[in-house]
C-alpha cells in the first residue's frame, strides 16, 4: 500500500510527486512511455528522428520504436501532438511559462469581464493561485528570456503595435515582452559560440541557443540532468522527486516506473461513498499486468488519456462532463517572409510574446525545416489557390488562408528557413460541451477502448472565432511592421498541442468533474493534476505553468486532507530544481 500513486509523468504529475515526496510520503509515479535516462546516447537533433508523430522518439507511443504509435480516433482534420515518456509533452515544449489571465478566475470584476468565458471560470480567485505560481517559478526556475535575432525582429514589429512592454509576471493589459521561460539563461560560452568543444558544462551553462527545444533538451554537453537548459519535468521535477531525501529534511525518494500504462482505476464503497483504492497497469515491455493500492490516486495522463482512463475504468459520470469541455486555444499560424536574416531556427524556440487579455496571445515560433513545412501544410482552409473548404479567410495577409503546398511551399522555404518569422496564435477559446473525448468504436488496443477526440473547428462560439480573427490580424500587422514582404495565414485545423479542461474543475456541480480542490466530485481520494483539471483554457496563455501551480496546490490539499499535514507554500522556501544536492544524488 502506497501513500500516493501518480498516473503520468508529464507536465503535472511529477509536480505532485515531487511535492509529496518532499513531504515524506511514499509516492509511486507511473509513466506509460519511455524514460530517456541518457539523451545523448539515444536522441538526435534530427526532426524526423525526434518529432515524427508516428515514429519519433518524442511520440505518443511505446518506448519500443519498432512498434506502432498508440491510436486515437480523430473524426476530423486535426492532430493530437502529445508526447509519451517521462517529461511527457514538456519534452518538446518551449518552456513558455506565462501566468493565466485574471479574468478567467472567480470574483474577477475588471471592466473587461464580459470578454472572458466567466461561465466556466476557476472556482477560486486568481490571487489564491499567485503563491503557487511563485513557488513553481522559483522551483523550475522561470526566467526572462534572452534575445536572439528572431526576437529583435519580433520586437521591432511589436513596438509599433501601440501597446506597452510588460515588466511584471502578472498580465494586466495588452502588452508585449520577452517570454518568461522555464529555460536557464545562457551563461559562460553558451549563446556565444558554435564550437561544440566550448559548449561543455560548466564552461557553458543554460541555453546554448541550439534551436532544438522541440527535439528535447540535452544542453549543455555533459551537464547534470537537472542542469539541462530547458526545464521540462524530466530535467526538473522528476529528478527532484527521485532524490527528495537528498534535498528535503523529511523527504523520501519517489519511485518511478516507466513503460507502465495504467488501464484501470480501482474503487470500493466505503461508508456509502465510492473511494479510489489503487490502479492496474500494463508493462509495455512484458505485457504483464500489475496492481498496487494507495491511499490517494492522482490522475495526470493528459487531457486525452485521463478521461479515457476514467471511462475505461467505469467510474461514475453522472453529469456527463467527463471528457467534455476540451479546449485547445484554437491555434493558428501566420508566417512572414523577410529579405533579411531572422535566425528563425536558432535560439530558444519561442522567446517573445504579445498578450491581449480577453482575446488571447501571440508568440514567436522558431522551427527547423521539416516542422516548418508541417505547419505550412496544416489548414482547414484547403490548399491556397485551389480550394478553400468553405473557409479561406481574407484579411491583411496575402491571399486567402490555406495550406502552402507544392511549388508555393518550395518557393517560400527556398526564401530561406532563416529568413522567415512564424507567429503562433493562442486563442482565448470558450469551454464548449460538444468538444470532447469519448471512447472510440474502433477496435480497442492493449489498453482498452481508445479515445476519440471530437473537436469541430467550425462550431466554435462567436467569441472564440472573433478572438482568433483579431489575433490573426494583430500577428499580420506585427510581421508587416517588422518588415515582412509576404505574409501567409494558414487557418490551422485543430493542432492539439495545448489541450485542457476535459476533466474540468468548476464552481457548478452541473458542468464540472472536479471540485475546487481538484478532487473528483464522485470518487473520493481521486484527484486530477494535468491540464485536464484546468477550469478553462486560461484565456490563451500557455498552460503548463498554471497546471504546475495548480498541481502544487493540489499536492498541498492532499497532504492536509488525507495525511494530516500542514501547508508549506505560503511560508516555505522552495528549493530550486538545479540544486547541486540533486545533481549529486542523481549520479
- Which residues in the 372-391 window bind another protein by CB under 8 A? 372-374, 376-378, 382-383, 386-387, 389
- Closest to another protein by CB, 69 vs 560, is 69
- Closest to another protein by CB, 29 vs 362, is 362
The C-alpha cell of 298 is what? 492522482
Provide the minimum distance between the beta carbon of 262 and another protein in the complex, in angstroms, as a whole number: 19
Give the C-alpha separation, 420 to 401, whole Å: 17
Q: Is 178 in the site for another protein (CB under 8 A)?
A: yes
Q: Is 196 in the site for another protein (CB under 8 A)?
A: yes
- Closest to another protein by CB, 177 vs 308, is 177
* Best CA proximity match to 540, nearest among 366, 335, 358: 358
Task: Confirm if 249 and 240 have CB atoms less than 8 A apart.
Answer: no
Q: Which of 37, 38, 64, 75 binds another protein (CB under 8 A)?
A: 75
Q: How many residues bind another protein (CB under 8 A)?
A: 95
Cβ–Cβ contacts within 10 Å for residue 437, how many? 29
Q: Which of 102, 231, 403, 474 binds another protein (CB under 8 A)?
A: 403
* Best CA proximity match to 378, nearest among 430, 411, 325, 334: 334
Task: Confirm if 467 and 427 have CB atoms less than 8 A apart.
Answer: yes
Burial 265-279 (b: 16+ CB within 10 A, else e): bbbeeeeeebbbbbb
- Closest to another protein by CB, 45 vs 557, is 45
Contact flags string 130-149 toward another protein, x per CB under 8 A: -------------xx-xxxx
Give the C-alpha separation, 277 to 300, whole Å: 16
Q: Is 549 in the site for another protein (CB under 8 A)?
A: no
The C-alpha cell of 36 is what? 530517456
Q: Quick one: which segment of 258-266, 400-408, 475-483, 534-542 binds another protein (CB under 8 A)?
A: 400-408
Contact flags string 410-449 toward another protein, x per CB under 8 A: x--xxxxxx----------------------xxx-x----
Q: Quick one: which segment of 119-127, 196-204, 242-250, 315-323 binds another protein (CB under 8 A)?
A: 196-204
Give the C-alpha separation, 37 to 228, whole Å: 13
Give the C-alpha separation, 66 to 68, whole Å: 7
402: part of which helix (H) or strand (E)?
A: none
The C-alpha cell of 201 is what? 558544462
Q: Is 213 in the site for another protein (CB under 8 A)?
A: no
- Closest to another protein by CB, 257 vs 383, is 383
CA distance to 6, 38, 183, 553, 557, per residue, from 560 (Å):
17, 37, 32, 11, 5
Contact flags string 103-132 toward another protein, x per CB under 8 A: ------------------------------
Contact flags string 459-488 toward another protein, x per CB under 8 A: ------------------------------
Q: Which of 87, 186, 239, 278 binds another protein (CB under 8 A)?
A: 186
Q: Which of 37, 64, 77, 156 binds another protein (CB under 8 A)?
A: 77
Give the C-alpha separation, 472 to 360, whole Å: 11
Q: Is 217 in the site for another protein (CB under 8 A)?
A: no
Q: Is 192 in the site for another protein (CB under 8 A)?
A: yes
Give the C-alpha separation, 371 to 357, whole Å: 29
* Best CA proximity match to 398, nearest among 318, 296, 515, 489: 489
Amino acid at each position: 500500500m502506497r501513500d500516493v500513486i501518480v498516473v503520468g509523468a508529464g507536465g503535472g504529475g511529477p509536480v505532485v510527486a515531487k511535492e509529496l515526496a518532499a513531504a515524506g510520503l511514499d509516492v509511486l509515479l507511473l509513466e506509460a512511455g519511455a524514460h530517456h535516462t541518457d539523451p545523448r546516447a539515444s536522441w538526435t537533433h534530427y526532426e524526423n528522428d525526434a518529432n515524427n508523430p508516428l515514429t519519433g522518439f518524442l511520440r505518443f507511443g511505446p518506448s519500443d520504436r519498432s512498434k506502432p504509435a498508440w491510436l486515437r480516433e480523430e473524426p476530423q482534420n486535426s492532430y493530437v501532438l502529445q508526447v509519451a515518456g517521462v517529461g511527457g509533452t514538456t519534452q518538446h515544449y518551449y518552456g513558455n511559462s506565462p501566468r493565466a489571465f485574471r479574468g478567467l478566475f472567480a470574483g474577477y470584476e475588471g471592466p473587461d469581464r464580459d470578454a472572458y468565458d466567466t461561465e466556466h471560470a476557476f472556482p477560486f480567485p486568481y490571487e489564491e493561485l499567485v503563491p503557487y505560481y511563485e513557488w513553481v517559478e522559483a522551483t523550475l526556475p522561470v526566467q526572462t528570456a534572452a534575445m536572439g535575432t528572431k526576437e529583435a525582429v519580433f520586437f521591432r514589429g511589436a513596438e509599433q503595435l501601440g501597446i506597452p512592454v510588460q515588466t511584471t509576471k502578472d498580465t494586466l493589459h495588452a502588452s508585449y515582452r520577452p517570454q518568461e521561460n522555464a529555460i536557464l539563461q545562457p551563461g559562460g560560452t553558451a549563446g556565444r559560440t558554435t564550437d561544440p568543444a566550448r559548449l561543455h558544462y560548466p564552461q557553458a551553462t543554460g541555453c546554448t541557443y541550439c534551436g532544438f527545444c522541440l527535439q528535447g533538451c540535452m544542453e549543455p554537453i555533459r551537464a547534470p540532468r537537472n542542469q539541462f537548459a530547458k526545464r521540462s519535468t524530466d530535467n526538473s521535477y522528476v529528478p527532484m522527486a527521485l532524490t527528495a531525501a537528498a534535498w528535503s529534511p523529511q523527504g523520501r525518494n519517489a519511485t518511478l516506473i516507466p513503460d507502465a500504462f495504467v488501464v484501470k482505476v480501482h474503487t470500493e464503497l466505503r461508508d456509502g461513498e465510492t473511494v479510489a483504492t489503487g490502479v492496474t497497469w500494463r508493462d509495455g515491455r512484458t505485457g504483464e499486468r500489475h496492481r498496487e493500492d494507495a491511499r490517494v490516486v492522482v490522475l495526470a495522463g493528459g487531457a486525452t488519456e485521463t478521461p479515457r482512463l476514467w471511462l475505461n475504468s467505469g467510474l461514475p459520470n453522472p453529469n456527463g462532463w467527463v471528457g467534455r469541455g476540451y479546449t485547445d486555444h484554437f491555434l493558428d499560424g501566420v508566417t512572414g517572409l523577410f529579405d533579411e536574416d531572422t535566425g528563425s531556427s536558432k535560439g530558444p524556440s519561442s522567446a517573445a510574446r504579445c498578450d491581449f487579455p480577453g482575446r488571447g496571445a501571440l508568440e514567436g515560433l522558431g522551427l527547423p525545416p521539416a516542422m516548418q513545412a508541417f505547419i505550412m501544410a496544416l489548414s482547414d482552409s484547403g490548399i491556397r489557390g485551389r480550394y478553400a473548404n468553405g473557409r479561406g479567410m481574407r484579411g491583411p495577409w496575402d491571399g486567402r488562408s490555406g495550406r502552402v503546398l507544392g511549388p508555393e511551399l518550395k518557393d517560400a522555404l527556398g526564401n530561406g528557413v532563416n529568413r522567415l518569422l512564424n507567429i503562433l496564435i493562442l486563442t482565448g477559446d470558450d469551454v464548449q460541451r460538444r468538444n470532447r473525448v469519448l471512447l472510440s468504436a474502433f477496435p480497442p488496443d492493449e489498453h482498452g477502448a481508445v479515445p476519440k477526440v471530437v473537436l469541430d473547428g467550425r462550431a466554435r462560439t462567436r467569441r472564440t472565432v472573433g478572438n482568433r480573427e483579431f489575433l490573426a490580424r494583430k500577428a499580420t500587422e506585427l510581421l508587416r511592421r517588422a518588415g515582412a514582404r509576404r505574409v501567409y495565414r494558414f487557418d490551422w485545423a485543430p493542432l492539439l498541442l495545448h489541450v485542457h479542461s476535459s476533466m474540468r474543475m468548476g464552481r457548478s456541480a452541473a458542468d464540472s468533474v472536479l471540485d475546487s480542490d481538484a478532487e473528483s466530485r464522485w470518487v473520493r481520494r481521486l484527484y486530477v493534476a494535468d491540464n485536464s483539471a484546468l477550469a478553462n483554457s486560461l484565456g490563451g496563455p500557455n498552460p503548463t505553468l498554471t497546471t504546475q501551480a495548480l498541481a502544487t496546490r493540489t499536492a498541498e490539499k492532499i497532504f492536509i486532507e488525507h495525511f494530516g499535514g500542514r501547508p508549506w507554500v505560503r511560508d516555505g522556501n522552495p528549493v530550486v530544481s538545479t540544486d547541486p544536492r540533486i545533481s549529486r544524488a542523481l549520479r
